[in-house]
Amino acid sequence: MKKTYLFTLGLAVGAILPFIGCNKNKDIVIGGVAPLTGEAATFGTSTKQGYDLAVAEWNAKGGVLGKQIKLAFADDKGDPAEGATVYTKLIEQDKAIAILGTVMSKVSLAGAPICQAAKIPMIATASTNPKVTDVGPFIFRACYIDPFQGTVGAKFAFDELKARKAACLFDVGNDYPKGLSEFFKAKFTALGGEVVGFEGHATGTSDFKAQLTKVLAAKPDLLYISDYYSDVAIMAKQARELGFKGPMLGGDGWDSPKLIEIAGSAVEGCFFTNHYAKEDKAPVVQEFVMKYTDKYKAAPDALAALAYDAANIMLDAITRAGATDGAAIQAALGKTDLRVVTGQVKFDEKRNPVKSAVIIEIKGGHEVYKTTIAP
Amino acid sequence: MGSIFSPQQIVNGLQLGAIYALIALGYTMVYGIVRLINFAHGDFFMVGAYAAFGSFFMFNFLLPPGNGLAFIVLILAMAAGAAIAVITDYFAYKPLRYKPKLSSLVTAIGVSMLLEYAFSAIPVIGPSPRGFPEVLPKQMFHFAQVDISNYVIVDLAVAGVLMIGLTFLIQRTALGRAMRAVSQDKDAAKLMGINVDRIISLTFLIGGAFAGAAGLLAGLTYPRIQPYMGILPGLKAFIAAVLGGIGSIPGAVLGAFIMGIAETCATAYNSLLGEGIAFVILIVVLLLRPSGIFGEKTADKI
Amino acid sequence: MGTLKKMKLVLAALTFYAVVQVLNLAGILNGYFMVIINRSLIAVIFAVSLNLINGITGQFSLGHMGFAAVGAYVSGTLTTLFFHLNLNHPFDNLGFLAAILLGGLMASLAGFLIGFPSLRLKGDYLAIVTLGFGEIIRTILNNISYVGGPRGLLGIPKFSNFTVIFLFALATIVLIRNLVQSSIGRSMLSIRENELASELVGVDTTRYKVLGFVVGAFFAGIGGGLLAHLLQIAHPTQYGFYASALILIMVYVGGIGSLTGSIIAAFSLTFLTEGLRVGIDWLRDTVGVPIGTEWTMVIYAVLLILIMLFKTEGLMGMREAKILIIKEKEG
């Protein structure tokens, strides 16, 4: 019995040790959060690569405020409880002066109150839920919120593709696809179109034939698939197998080299709304695509671009603030007017970025710029 | 609107059912012999899919996609599934065979988590989904308002051939007799001179091989593989095995096809129902007829 | 004797509370440490209550976090959507307590419902049913837009803090300890050891099995409610199979049937997770080993397998620390 107590005591002392004393860092510490474990890990990987690339670039140029930047990265596992823990760790333990991340809205929502309370500015990368930035004035985001993309998609479908009957397919266990489909439906109906099918599917399934067979029976002109690329890819394949010949449309979740890799010809002639086009001649875009592809041996997806942008927006704000205290950075962030990969970014009064969307067409196995739609 | 039971939906359901059936057979065989819900069985299926993926790229240099290549890939996927099953049994289950049943179940959960997380943490595999290559060129047929690809036929054919083979093995060979004997009474079987441990290993081998085959078929049919792909099909195949009567080979097959069709039709009716139907079936079966369709009533030995 | 022993536990716990609180106020323990302490205490609530079901009563639940989900959503709905409780209002803190308890009660109702199959099913079958139950809860929550559907229940006021969580954790330990070491607990243990025999000697097995589920679920619901009010969000994916499996690991590592073991394991595994996080980051950034925190779960899976293979009874086996024993065992 004594042994157990000693063991417990030792464990307790050992557990406390790492938390005592404070971090004396000569570098400027920026926190980065993304899910690297669990089912969202694939999104976290590109997000982390986006942060890493941006920070490495800034450091090569001499860092920020004359100091090198250290990215303290933490894995949120796609879980709110983990998120709350790592946001606190980055602030309290690593002494991060600003935080980038994270991907999933539910995790950003657990982290945002912590950043807000500590007055540490935070830029969520891909959290589309409008509530995230409602938490307080220190919370910003790099992506569009759901209503914008859904609306843009619906306009494009109705005006350009002349679709009158559309069907929506989405993951019911994930807020991003569901929100997107809901806003698409609202706008498309308002424009005078008809949504003839609105079908969810469970997270993690690979068999969408039941839903597809059902919606295709209503003979839609267009399928609006608001999922992430890997679900989109097999859904597109199955839709073609079931004889659907019309166009499919989606959101920035489609933006990944894996989409065409997995779906092949099934997504030929399909469209998606995105933040930027890879063939955009702007040097910031070209440089990003080249460097990213060079470093990670794969083309960047939307999540990598958003993470890269979040880092750049934050570091730009720190430079302009000329200080490392949260309030100064927050004020500078509010005045952001910066050309980044995903467009010219300014923040509105709710700290959402105001930027235009582009429509990308998949043609000949490549993503091709189609048109730009202003906000 | 399309009818819930349209011919197309039935075909969709049969295709799904074929894959469930191959996984369910492994569950039912292992349960029949060692009375263990092998939680990691869905992950053997995942391992099989990755093995198929890897072996495609190994042999694609020698052979173009087609029947020959598909056959090689099938054999290697089955071999990988069999190997991981036998290894798991040897290291994780065998030492616990005479301990309380629940210890093995908890270990199985551990093995399942280990395979999923390790596959997603190992850099060369990684958490991102991968596109599965067309090991067989795809062809589409259209008749009587139903769209069918040759994959549907391949799925059903592979599942059918393997099931018939298994039934023959169990009913007509000495090995099958030994397996049946072990499943009825291990101690008596041992007294009859049957090497019980070897039979159990063989059971895992066959079950794992079937899961591996299912991995290839799933990769072909739903061309995306990822480390967590085994969770849902594994769970649903298990429910199919329970529905058919766990321990019963024809039960597992019938249960799997019922599950496939029920799920497709329920989804066609309402996607929420489609998501939950498997568990509803499970709970209803367990409450009303825990022994399943073909299961024999056995009293729990105390 | 009994009172004194009981007091000893409470005294020890209060000492722990005072030490942590003082160190925190003195600035020696930072906010990160407090988050880990809070998560450990909530893990204690989950692990001890699961131990009552799996360890003491000998049933098997794989859907423990399903009960937590019920508690989280019920209490969260009450405080956030129904009554819009406000942190700064002292009276609302009472409302929060009532909401947490109500969440626990609703969870125990769910436990009552799921306890019924346990009358017919044993061991592994029951495991699967409870797993299915957890998944059904998750599916339902995903589809109720009133509580946010896949967006989760948002904007929950942050009523939970170290003091509240500590008090609930202590209450959970004391109450479950008292239950286990009463005649009810002995009946429960007898079911685990031999259900048929205990039925033959007149133990109402039905009643005690369902009671195990009801009480276990009640505390899981409390834990869920506290967690939701700590994180300010409740999301369906938080309560899936893997969350339940993590609690299961704690119970088995600590020792099935040992409350002490569950408490130790809940603390050590929560701290180990963070220790591994710090350690792995150090290995990656300072030493340059290309690994990431995703290996944490691999390590846990291996740990669980090794414990099951080489120390099936867990760290503590069936033993309890003296401080947790009300009466010395007779004979």
d(CA C251, CA C264): 10
Contact A106 C296 (CB under 8 A): no
pLDDT category at A188 given cuts 50, 70, 90 is very high
Contacts of A109 in chain C (CB under 8 A): 152, 154, 232-233
Looking at the complex, does the CB of residue B130 fall below 8 Å from at least one CB of chain A?
Answer: yes
Cβ contact, residue pair B264, A39, below 8 Å: no
**Which residue of B lies nearest to C295 if distances are taken between CA atoms?**
B121
Q: CB pairs under 8 A, 24+ apart, for C115-122?
A: C115/C209, C115/C210, C115/C211, C115/C212, C115/C213, C115/C214, C116/C210, C117/B283, C117/B286, C117/B287, C118/C59, C118/C209, C118/C210, C118/C213, C119/C206, C119/C209, C119/C210, C120/B286, C120/B287, C120/B290, C121/B286, C121/B290, C122/B300
Chain B nearest C-alpha distance from C249 (Å): 9
| Residues B85, C246: Cα–Cα separation, whole Å | 24
Measured in angstroms, the CA of B266 and the nearest CA of chain C are apart by: 15
**Is there a contact between C166 and C103 (Cβ–Cβ < 8 Å)?**
no
Nearest neighbour of B224 by CB, restricted to A206, A210, A211: A206
Q: Are residues A33 and A104 both part of a single domain?
A: yes
A58 Cα to chain C: minimum distance (Å): 18
Banded model confidence at residue A12, pLDDT cuts 50, 70, 90:
low
pLDDT surpasses 80 at A38: no
Going C146 to C151 to C153 to C154, the CA torsion angle's sign is negative
How much is the pLDDT for B166?
Answer: 93
Report how many Cβ contacts below 8 Å link chain B to chain C. Answer: 113
Flag if C35 and A173 touch (Cβ within 8 Å): no
Percent of chain C with pLDDT over 70: 96
Same domain, yes or no: A65 and A136: yes
Neighbours of C31 (CB within 10 A): 17
Query: Of C263 and B6, which is predicted with more confidence?
Result: C263
CA distance C239 to chain A (A): 10
Phi-psi region of A62 (alpha: psi -120 to 50; beta: other; left: phi over 0): left
pLDDT digits (tens, 9 = 90+) for A265-289: 999 999 999 988 888 888 999 999 9
Task: Parse chain C into domains and list their residue ranges.
Answer: 2-324
Q: CA-nearest residue of chain B to C117?
A: B287
Q: Which residue of A has its CA nearest to C279?
A: A18
Comparing CA positions, the residue from B41, B13, B67 lying closest to residue B234 is: B41
Select the residue of A200, A207, A261 nearest B271 (Cβ to Cβ): A200
For chain B, the domains span: 27-224
Query: Do the strands A343-347 and A353-354 form a parallel or antiparallel pair, or are they unpaired?
Result: antiparallel
Give how far Cα C68 sits from Cα of A80, A87, C247, Å.
15, 23, 12
Residue of C nearest to A174 (CA): C150
Three-state secondary structure readout of chain C = CHHHHHHHHHHHHHHHHHHHHHHHHCCCCCHHHHHHHHHHHHHHHHHHHHHHHHHHCCCCCCCHHHHHHHHHHHHHHHHHHHCCCCCCCHHHHHHHHHHHHHHHHHHHHHHHHHHCHHHHCCHHHHHHHHHHHHHHHHHHHHCCHHHCHHHCEECCCCCCCHHHHHHHHHHHHHHHHHHHCCHHHHHHHHHHHCHHHHHHCCCCHHHHHHHHHHHHHHHHHHHHHHHHHHHCEECHHHHCHHHHHHHHHHHHHHCCCCHHHHHHHHHHHHHHHHHHHHHHHHHHHHHCCCCCCCHHHHHHHHHHHHHHHHCCCCCCCCCCCHHHCCCCCCC
Q: Please give the pLDDT value at position A4.
A: 58
Q: Which residues of C touch B242 (CB under 8 A)?
A: 125, 128
CATH code of residue A300: 3.40.50.2300
Q: Does C56 touch chain B (CB under 8 A)?
A: no
Q: How far apart are CA C243 and CA C135, in angstroms?
A: 12
Is the per-residue pLDDT at C72 higher than 50? yes
Q: What average pLDDT is seen over chain A?
A: 90
Which regions of chain B are under pLDDT 70?
1-4, 296-302
Residue pair C191/C208 in contact (Cβ under 8 Å)? The answer is: yes
| pLDDT for res C3 | 61
pLDDT at residue A22 is higher than 90: no
Do A205 and A264 lie in a common domain? yes
Rounded to whole angstroms, how far apart are CA atoms A108 and A112?
Answer: 6
User: How near does any CA of chain C get to the CA of B209, in Å?
Assistant: 23
Please tell me the predicted confidence (pLDDT) of residue B6: 83
User: Would the pLDDT of A257 be above 90?
Assistant: no
ipTM of the complex as predicted: 0.89
Return the SS3 of A282: coil
- Decide if pLDDT at C153 tops 60: yes
pLDDT at position B301: 38
Mean pLDDT, residues A24-29 taken together: 76
Query: Is C150 an interface residue toward B (CB < 8 Å)?
Result: no
| Contact in structure between A342 and A276 (CB atoms under 8 Å) | yes
CB distance B113–C242 less than 8 Å?
yes
Per-residue pLDDT tens digits for A83-139 = 999 999 999 999 999 999 899 999 999 999 999 999 999 999 999 888 899 999 999
Q: Is residue A19 very low, low, confident or very high in pLDDT (cuts 50, 70, 90)?
A: low
What pLDDT score was predicted for residue A25? 55
Cα C235 to Cα C158: distance, rounded to the nearest angstrom:
15
> Is residue A13 scored above 90 in pLDDT?
no
Question: Is residue A191 domain-resident?
Answer: yes
* Torsion, CA B271, CA B272, CA B278, CA B282, rounded to 10: -150
Residues 6+ apart with CB under 8 A from A160: A359, A371
CB contact (8 A) between residue B130 and residue A205: no
Mean of the pLDDT values across residues A226-251?
92
Residues from chain B contacting residue A205 (CB–CB below 8 Å): 232
Select from A274, A292, A321 the last residue of a domain: A274
Q: Region C5-10: what's the mean pLDDT?
A: 76
Quote the pLDDT of residue B1.
40
Quote the number of domains for chain A. 2
Facing B286 at nearest CB: one of C60, C121, C143: C121
Q: Do A35 and A154 share a domain, yes or no?
A: no
Residues B77 and B212 sit within 8 Å (Cβ to Cβ):
yes
Contact A210 B9 (CB under 8 A): yes
Q: Name the strand (E) or helix (H) holding A314.
A: helix A302-321
Q: Which residue of B has its CA nearest to C197?
A: B302
- Which pair of structure tokens corresponds to residue B32? 């029949």
Give yes or no: residues A95 and A152 share one domain: no
Q: Mean pLDDT over residues C106-111, rounded?
A: 96
For residues B45 and B212, is the Cβ–Cβ distance under 8 A?
A: yes
Chains in contact with C, counting 3 or more C-beta pairs less than 8 Å apart as contact: A, B
Q: Using an 8 Å Cβ cutoff, are B263 and B278 in contact?
A: yes
- pLDDT, one tens digit per residue, over C182-217 is 999 989 988 888 888 888 888 888 889 899 999 999
Contact at 8 Å (CB) between C238 and C65? yes
The pLDDT of residue B302 is: 34
Residue B129 at interface with chain A, using a CB cutoff of 8 Å? yes
User: Which chain C residues are within 8 Å of B278, Cβ to Cβ?
Assistant: 132
- Those chains having 3 or more beta-carbon pairs within 8 angstroms of chain B are A, C
Percentage with pLDDT > 70 across chain A:
93
Q: How confident is the model at residue A6 (pLDDT cuts 50, 70, 90)?
A: low
Q: What is the pLDDT of residue C242?
A: 86
Average pLDDT for C237-259: 91
In 3D, which of A199, A195, A185 has the Cα closest to residue A239? A199
CA-to-CA dists, residue A95 to A28, A72, A90, A99, C302, angstroms:
9, 9, 6, 10, 33
CB contact under 8 A, B271 and A36: no
**Weakest-pLDDT range from A19-33, B36-50, C69-83:** A19-33
pLDDT at res. C240: 87
Give the C-alpha separation, A360 to A188, whole Å: 19
pLDDT of C74 over the 90 cut: yes
Give me the CATH topology for the region C2-324. ABC transporter involved in vitamin B12 uptake, BtuC (1.10.3470)
- Cβ contact (<8 Å) for C139 and A110? no
Contact assignment for C301 to B114 by CB distance below 8 Å: yes
CA distance C220 to A237: 43
Evaluate if residue C40 carries a pLDDT over 80. Answer: yes
The maximal CA–CA distance of chain A, rounded, in angstroms, is 79
Identify the domain containing residue A52 by its residue range: 25-144+283-355
A116 and A157 both lie in a single domain: no
Q: Is the pLDDT of residue C331 over 50?
A: no
φ and ψ of A331, to 5 deg: -65, -40
Does residue C101 have a pLDDT over 50? yes
> Please, is A143 exposed, middle or buried when counting C-beta atoms within 10 Å of its C-beta (0-12, 13-18, 19+)?
buried
Do A314 and A200 lie in one domain? The reply is: no
**Cα dist. B185→A234, B32, B196, B299, C77 in Å?**
46, 11, 10, 14, 53
CB contact under 8 A, B302 and C196: yes
Contact C136 B279 (CB under 8 A): yes
Query: How far is B208 from chain A, CA to nearest CA, in Å?
Result: 21
Q: Out of C151, C319, C322, name the one closest to residue A175 (CB).
A: C151
Higher-confidence residue of C306 and C86: namely C306
Residues A139 and A152 in one domain: no
Q: What is the pLDDT of residue A320?
A: 95
If one compares C120 and A357, the residue with the highest pLDDT of the two is: A357
